[in-house]
Protein backbone atom coordinates (compact mmCIF):
# COMPACT_ATOMS: atom_id res chain seq x y z
CA UNK A 1 0.00 0.00 0.00
CA UNK A 2 1.31 3.46 -0.95
CA UNK A 3 0.50 6.22 1.55
CA UNK A 4 0.38 9.92 0.68
CA UNK A 5 0.47 12.22 3.71
CA UNK A 6 -1.62 15.40 3.81
CA UNK A 7 -1.74 17.30 7.12
CA UNK A 8 -0.59 14.54 9.47
CA UNK A 9 2.35 12.49 8.22
CA UNK A 10 4.00 10.77 11.19
CA UNK A 11 1.34 9.53 13.63
CA UNK A 12 -0.78 7.86 10.90
CA UNK A 13 2.32 5.99 9.68
CA UNK A 14 3.10 4.91 13.23
CA UNK A 15 -0.42 3.51 13.56
CA UNK A 16 -0.16 1.66 10.23
CA UNK A 17 3.33 0.28 10.90
CA UNK A 18 2.27 -1.05 14.29
CA UNK A 19 -0.15 -3.35 12.43
CA UNK A 20 1.51 -4.19 9.10
CA UNK A 21 4.79 -4.05 7.17
CA UNK A 22 3.69 -3.64 3.57
CA UNK A 23 3.73 0.17 3.58
CA UNK A 24 5.32 2.51 1.02
CA UNK A 25 5.13 6.26 1.50
CA UNK A 26 5.24 9.07 -1.06
CA UNK A 27 8.02 11.61 -0.42
CA UNK A 28 9.24 14.80 -2.04
CA UNK A 29 12.55 15.45 -0.26
CA UNK A 30 15.28 13.66 1.73
CA UNK A 31 13.97 14.77 5.12
CA UNK A 32 10.57 13.19 4.48
CA UNK A 33 12.39 10.00 3.50
CA UNK A 34 14.55 9.94 6.64
CA UNK A 35 11.47 10.41 8.80
CA UNK A 36 9.50 7.64 7.06
CA UNK A 37 12.42 5.19 7.15
CA UNK A 38 12.97 5.75 10.87
CA UNK A 39 9.41 5.59 12.22
CA UNK A 40 9.05 3.04 15.05
CA UNK A 41 12.74 2.18 14.37
CA UNK A 42 11.84 -0.28 11.63
CA UNK A 43 10.53 2.31 9.14
CA UNK A 44 8.37 1.86 6.06
CA UNK A 45 9.03 -0.86 3.50
CA UNK A 46 9.99 1.68 0.82
CA UNK A 47 9.38 5.10 -0.66
CA UNK A 48 7.82 6.50 -3.83
CA UNK A 49 9.63 9.64 -5.02
CA UNK A 50 7.34 12.40 -6.27
CA UNK A 51 9.68 15.20 -7.34
CA UNK A 52 10.41 16.33 -10.94
CA UNK A 53 13.76 17.93 -10.00
CA UNK A 54 16.68 15.59 -10.94
CA UNK A 55 18.94 17.16 -8.28
CA UNK A 56 16.33 16.53 -5.60
CA UNK A 57 16.00 12.92 -6.73
CA UNK A 58 19.79 12.47 -6.49
CA UNK A 59 19.75 13.85 -2.94
CA UNK A 60 16.98 11.43 -2.01
CA UNK A 61 18.95 8.51 -3.47
CA UNK A 62 22.00 9.54 -1.42
CA UNK A 63 19.78 9.56 1.65
CA UNK A 64 18.53 6.05 0.88
CA UNK A 65 22.13 4.87 0.59
CA UNK A 66 22.77 5.95 4.17
CA UNK A 67 20.85 3.00 5.58
CA UNK A 68 22.38 0.30 3.38
CA UNK A 69 26.12 0.91 3.07
CA UNK A 70 28.40 -1.86 4.33
CA UNK A 71 32.09 -1.03 4.26
CA UNK A 72 35.02 -3.36 3.76
CA UNK A 73 37.33 -2.75 6.69
CA UNK A 74 40.98 -3.79 6.46
CA UNK A 75 43.62 -4.66 9.03
CA UNK A 76 46.58 -2.32 9.41
CA UNK A 77 49.65 -2.97 11.55
CA UNK A 78 50.93 -0.16 13.78
CA UNK A 79 54.50 0.94 13.04
CA UNK A 80 55.02 4.03 15.19
CA UNK A 81 53.38 5.97 18.02
CA UNK A 82 54.86 9.43 18.55
CA UNK A 83 53.66 12.03 21.09
CA UNK A 84 53.23 15.53 19.61
CA UNK A 85 52.66 18.99 21.01
CA UNK A 86 49.16 20.38 21.56
CA UNK A 87 46.54 21.14 18.93
CA UNK A 88 42.83 21.76 18.49
CA UNK A 89 40.96 18.48 18.69
CA UNK A 90 37.26 17.77 18.09
CA UNK A 91 34.87 15.64 20.11
CA UNK A 92 31.87 14.67 17.99
CA UNK A 93 28.79 14.26 20.21
CA UNK A 94 25.86 12.57 18.51
CA UNK A 95 22.18 12.04 19.33
CA UNK A 96 22.76 8.26 19.38
CA UNK A 97 24.35 5.92 21.92
CA UNK A 98 26.98 3.69 20.34
CA UNK A 99 27.64 0.08 21.31
CA UNK A 100 30.98 -1.58 21.96
CA UNK A 101 32.86 -2.08 18.71
CA UNK A 102 31.34 1.03 17.10
CA UNK A 103 32.88 4.36 16.22
CA UNK A 104 33.67 6.80 13.43
CA UNK A 105 36.09 6.75 10.50
CA UNK A 106 38.77 9.45 10.85
CA UNK A 107 42.17 9.99 9.27
CA UNK A 108 44.85 12.35 8.02
CA UNK A 109 43.94 11.29 4.47
CA UNK A 110 40.61 10.45 2.88
CA UNK A 111 42.37 7.42 1.37
CA UNK A 112 42.98 5.92 4.82
CA UNK A 113 40.47 6.35 7.65
CA UNK A 114 40.95 4.69 11.04
CA UNK A 115 37.99 3.34 13.00
CA UNK A 116 38.02 5.37 16.25
CA UNK A 117 36.02 3.84 19.12
CA UNK A 118 33.35 5.75 21.00
CA UNK A 119 33.92 6.70 24.63
CA UNK A 120 31.66 3.95 25.98
CA UNK A 121 34.30 1.76 27.64
CA UNK A 122 34.08 1.68 31.44
CA UNK A 123 37.12 3.07 33.28
CA UNK A 124 37.88 4.22 36.86
CA UNK A 125 38.59 7.87 36.05
CA UNK A 126 35.80 9.40 33.94
CA UNK A 127 32.17 8.62 33.16
CA UNK A 128 31.45 6.95 29.84
CA UNK A 129 30.12 9.01 26.95
CA UNK A 130 28.53 6.43 24.60
CA UNK A 131 27.30 9.23 22.33
CA UNK A 132 30.81 10.62 21.79
CA UNK A 133 33.85 9.95 19.64
CA UNK A 134 36.96 11.93 20.50
CA UNK A 135 37.80 12.08 16.84
CA UNK A 136 41.01 14.01 16.34
CA UNK A 137 42.37 17.41 15.26
CA UNK A 138 40.53 19.98 13.19
CA UNK A 139 42.41 19.08 9.96
CA UNK A 140 41.35 15.42 9.91
CA UNK A 141 38.76 13.90 7.59
CA UNK A 142 35.63 12.21 8.93
CA UNK A 143 33.27 10.00 6.93
CA UNK A 144 29.73 11.35 6.70
CA UNK A 145 26.48 9.39 6.43
CA UNK A 146 26.10 10.20 2.72
CA UNK A 147 29.52 8.73 1.90
CA UNK A 148 31.24 12.09 1.56
CA UNK A 149 33.89 13.43 3.91
CA UNK A 150 34.26 16.63 5.90
CA UNK A 151 37.07 18.19 7.85
CA UNK A 152 36.43 17.84 11.56
CA UNK A 153 36.58 21.64 11.75
CA UNK A 154 33.44 21.75 9.55
CA UNK A 155 31.24 19.49 11.70
CA UNK A 156 28.17 21.31 13.00
CA UNK A 157 24.98 20.56 14.94
CA UNK A 158 22.52 18.72 12.68
CA UNK A 159 25.14 17.11 10.45
CA UNK A 160 24.82 13.37 9.87
CA UNK A 161 27.96 11.31 10.49
CA UNK A 162 28.47 7.65 9.72
CA UNK A 163 28.70 5.23 12.64
CA UNK A 164 30.57 2.02 11.73
CA UNK A 165 31.09 -1.19 13.68
CA UNK A 166 34.00 -3.62 13.43
CA UNK A 167 32.11 -5.73 10.87
CA UNK A 168 31.70 -2.74 8.54
CA UNK A 169 27.98 -2.27 9.21
CA UNK A 170 27.01 1.40 9.30
CA UNK A 171 24.16 3.72 10.17
CA UNK A 172 23.73 7.51 10.27
CA UNK A 173 23.80 9.54 13.47
CA UNK A 174 22.82 13.17 13.98
CA UNK A 175 25.48 15.46 15.46
CA UNK A 176 24.33 17.21 18.61
CA UNK A 177 27.48 19.30 18.92
CA UNK A 178 31.15 19.41 18.00
CA UNK A 179 33.41 20.40 20.88
CA UNK A 180 36.84 21.87 20.07
CA UNK A 181 39.49 22.07 22.79
CA UNK A 182 43.27 22.38 22.88
CA UNK A 183 44.85 19.09 23.93
CA UNK A 184 48.16 17.18 23.62
CA UNK A 185 48.27 15.00 20.51
CA UNK A 186 49.83 11.76 19.35
CA UNK A 187 50.69 10.47 15.87
CA UNK A 188 49.81 6.87 15.02
CA UNK A 189 51.41 5.47 11.88
CA UNK A 190 50.48 2.08 10.47
CA UNK A 191 51.05 -0.05 7.40
CA UNK A 192 48.39 -1.62 5.21
CA UNK A 193 49.52 -3.74 2.25
CA UNK A 194 52.88 -2.00 2.16
CA UNK A 195 51.49 1.54 2.31
CA UNK A 196 52.07 3.91 5.23
CA UNK A 197 48.93 5.53 6.65
CA UNK A 198 48.41 7.72 9.70
CA UNK A 199 46.04 9.44 12.06
CA UNK A 200 46.56 12.07 14.76
CA UNK A 201 44.54 11.75 17.97
CA UNK A 202 44.35 13.28 21.40
CA UNK A 203 47.00 11.76 23.65
CA UNK A 204 44.78 10.27 26.39
CA UNK A 205 43.94 6.88 27.85
CA UNK A 206 40.27 7.13 26.88
CA UNK A 207 41.10 7.34 23.16
CA UNK A 208 40.76 3.92 21.56
CA UNK A 209 41.03 2.33 18.15
CA UNK A 210 39.26 -0.90 17.18
CA UNK A 211 40.94 -4.24 16.63
CA UNK A 212 39.84 -6.82 14.02
CA UNK A 213 37.98 -8.81 16.70
CA UNK A 214 35.93 -5.74 17.61
CA UNK A 215 37.68 -5.00 20.89
CA UNK A 216 38.76 -1.47 21.72
CA UNK A 217 42.46 -0.85 22.32
CA UNK A 218 43.58 2.24 24.25
CA UNK A 219 46.43 4.42 23.03
CA UNK A 220 48.39 3.47 26.16
CA UNK A 221 48.19 -0.21 25.16
CA UNK A 222 48.96 0.43 21.49
CA UNK A 223 52.41 -0.70 20.42
CA UNK A 224 54.40 -1.56 17.33
CA UNK A 225 52.75 -4.57 15.70
CA UNK A 226 49.26 -3.91 17.09
CA UNK A 227 46.51 -4.52 14.54
CA UNK A 228 43.72 -1.98 14.02
CA UNK A 229 40.84 -1.57 11.57
CA UNK A 230 40.98 0.98 8.74
CA UNK A 231 38.98 1.88 5.67
CA UNK A 232 40.79 2.50 2.36
CA UNK A 233 39.61 4.05 -0.89
CA UNK A 234 41.27 4.97 -4.17
CA UNK A 235 41.44 8.40 -5.73
CA UNK A 236 40.92 11.57 -3.77
CA UNK A 237 38.31 14.02 -2.55
CA UNK A 238 37.23 17.39 -3.92
CA UNK A 239 35.19 19.30 -1.32
CA UNK A 240 34.35 15.94 0.26
CA UNK A 241 33.21 14.24 -2.94
CA UNK A 242 35.20 11.25 -4.16
CA UNK A 243 36.93 11.80 -7.50
CA UNK A 244 39.11 9.61 -9.68
CA UNK A 245 42.41 11.48 -9.86
CA UNK A 246 45.95 11.05 -8.62
CA UNK A 247 46.47 12.72 -5.26
CA UNK A 248 49.52 12.41 -3.01
CA UNK A 249 49.02 13.26 0.65
CA UNK A 250 51.96 13.14 3.06
Residue pLDDT, tens place only, 136-188: 999 999 999 988 999 999 999 999 999 999 999 999 999 999 999 999 999 99
Number of alpha carbons in the 13 Å side-chain half-sphere of residue 21: 2
Q: How far is CA 165 from CA 65, 158, 181, 199, in A?
A: 17, 22, 26, 18
Least confident of 22-36, 79-93, 167-181: 22-36
Per-residue pLDDT at 240:
46
What's this model's pTM, rounded to 2 decimal places? 0.77
Given this model, what pLDDT does residue 205 score?
94
**If you average pLDDT over every residue of the chain, what do you get?**
89
pLDDT at residue 84, as a whole number: 97
d(CA 41, CA 119): 24
Average pLDDT over residues 222-246: 75
Q: Do the bridges between strand 102-109 and strand 141-143 make them parallel or antiparallel, or are there none, so unpaired? A: antiparallel
Fold of 74-243: Endonuclease - Pi-scei; Chain A, domain 1 (2.170.16)
**Mean pLDDT confidence for 195-204:** 97
Alpha carbons within 13 angstroms on the beta-carbon side of residue 5 total 22
Rounded alpha-carbon distances, angstroms, from residue 83 to 3, 141, 223? 57, 20, 13
137 closest CA partner among 105, 81, 182, 103: 182
Among the listed residues 75, 79, 73, the one whose alpha carbon sits nearest the alpha carbon of residue 188: 79
Percent of the chain with pLDDT over 70: 91
Which DSSP symbol is given to 129?
A: B
What does each C-alpha distance from 92 to 23, 137, 148 come to in angstroms? 35, 11, 17
Residue 98 has pLDDT above 80, yes or no: yes
Amino acid sequence: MVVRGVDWTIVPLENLLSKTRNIFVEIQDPQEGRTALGILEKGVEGVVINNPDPDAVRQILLMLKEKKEKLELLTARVKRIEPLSSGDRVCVDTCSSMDLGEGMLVGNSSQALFLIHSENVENPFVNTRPFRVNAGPVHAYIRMADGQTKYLSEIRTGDRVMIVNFEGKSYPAVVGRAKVERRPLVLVEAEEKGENISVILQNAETIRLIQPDGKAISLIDLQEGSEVLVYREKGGRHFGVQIDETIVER
